[in-house]
């Protein structure tokens, strides 16, 4: 998924859905960390993508918090 599409997808989600997606990404990163420890090379690229997705999601959540406090 392209970056712009991913950001738009997160903007369209409800707060509860964002929290659920964040939990899913954290769980995925946890499992990928085990795969990385076992030496699976393809886990590195997927791990980078998941980290970036989680960062984008957290950015959207933070922007909503800032907008709500104003």
CATH number of the structural domain 3-69: 1.10.287
pLDDT at 1 over 70: no
Mean pLDDT of 33-48: 87
By three-state DSSP, how is residue 40 classified? coil
Average pLDDT value over all residues in the chain: 92
pLDDT digits (tens, 9 = 90+) for 18-40: 999 999 999 999 999 998 888 88
Gyration radius of the chain's alpha carbons:
14
| Structure tokens that stand for 52 in this block | 């970036």
Asked whether the beta carbons of 43 and 29 are under 8 A apart, the reply is no
- Each domain of the chain, given as residue ranges in start order, spans 3-69
pLDDT at 70 over 90: no
């Amino acid at each position: 998924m392209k970056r712009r599409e991913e950001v738009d997808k997160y903007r369209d989600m409800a707060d509860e859905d964002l929290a659920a997606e964040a939990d899913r990404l954290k769980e995925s990163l946890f499992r990928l960390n085990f795969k990385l420890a076992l030496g699976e090379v393809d886990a590195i690229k997927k791990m980078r993508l998941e980290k970036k997705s989680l960062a984008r999601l957290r950015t959207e959540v933070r922007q909503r918090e800032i907008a709500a406090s104003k």
